[in-house]
Amino acid sequence: MQTITFTCKVLTPMFLNGADGQTPEIRAPSIKGAIRFWWRALNGHLPLLDILDKQEKGKVIVKGLKSLETEIFGGSGDTVQRSNVIIQVIPNGKLQTSTHELVPHKPFMKGDAFNPGSTFDVKLTLLKEIKGEKDILYFGLDHLKSIFMLSCYLGGLGKRVRRGMGSVDILNIDDKPENRPITLPLLLSLIENLSPFYQINGEKIVFNYSGRSPQYGYVTQIQLGKTYPDHYSVLKTISNATHITKEKYRFAYDPSMGHAFKGRYASPVYTSVIKGSVRPIITTLNLAPDRDANEARLSIQQDFKEQIL
């Protein structure tokens, strides 16, 4: 059993509620859900299901994404298994909340959220290391550390997290200050603990796997944007870009950028905000719409991103 503790700071309003769906609360299941999502998104080189030996029935040659995810984070239904990762949230005093704009270009849409500047601790416990064939370590504490940090930097927690809300910084790791600037080389060093198939290409981190990947939302590229005067400015820009892009492309917007009408397709373009000079970070996922795939266009995503970067 190994543990690691992070002190985290809220950078942008965090609309994260408890079990009742109304009271602001930072919950362990929400954090675990974010970690699972980003672990899955950074393993686009894996097959979804186990690859079996054609000669020896039942023998697994390559473990699939679903099997590995269950082994690390637990499963339910037909694959009931206890999670190997235990999460505990420890507030630093009383976390302050107030009313914030959920969608800045629609100021009438407001709600209670944790204020920027609020801090909390997250204690992660790894019950055991997971090893693969030939006793090679596949998932240990260093992997858990990397995926948690990437979950904070690339994403965040709560509603509108793909549009800059709920962005999180890491202040300390086991009481040691974490003050490195967020750069592409730093992000790549964290990613390389999880996947060997990413590299820096110009001003981007790109997925460079040459094989065939499953049709789901894995990370294809990561970009850092320009400096903004404050967090509200970048949130307003992200929100306005969403409005302008939706108005411009109308029916083609949903399969390209996500929708929550007649089903839900979460946006494949993930915008977050990082510490320091206040810069947006945009992570693009593989385009895999739930409907109208013939209408989906990468050029629509590019238009949206250029308005922010």
pLDDT at position 218: 97
Residue 254: both structure tokens together: 């949903």
Return all residues near 203 (Cβ < 8 A) that are at least 6 apart. Answer: 184, 223, 224
pLDDT at position 174: 97
pLDDT at position 75: 80
Return all residues near 121 (Cβ < 8 A) that are at least 6 apart. Answer: 5, 6, 7, 8, 89, 90, 91, 92
The residue to which tokens 């083609």 are assigned: 252
Q: Splitting the chain (309 residues) into consecutive groups of 10 residues, what average pLDDT does each group show?
A: 96 89 88 96 89 71 84 79 93 86 89 94 95 78 97 96 96 96 97 96 96 93 95 95 95 94 90 90 96 93 97
pLDDT at position 275: 86
pLDDT at position 134: 65
DSSP state of 294: G
The pTM of this model reads 0.94
**Amino acid at position 71, single letter:** E
pLDDT at position 65: 87
Q: What is the dihedral of CA 70, 164, 216, 73, to 10 degrees?
A: 0
pLDDT at position 77: 66
DSSP state of 283: E
CA distances from 304 to 233, 242, 254, 289, 309 (A): 16, 7, 13, 17, 9
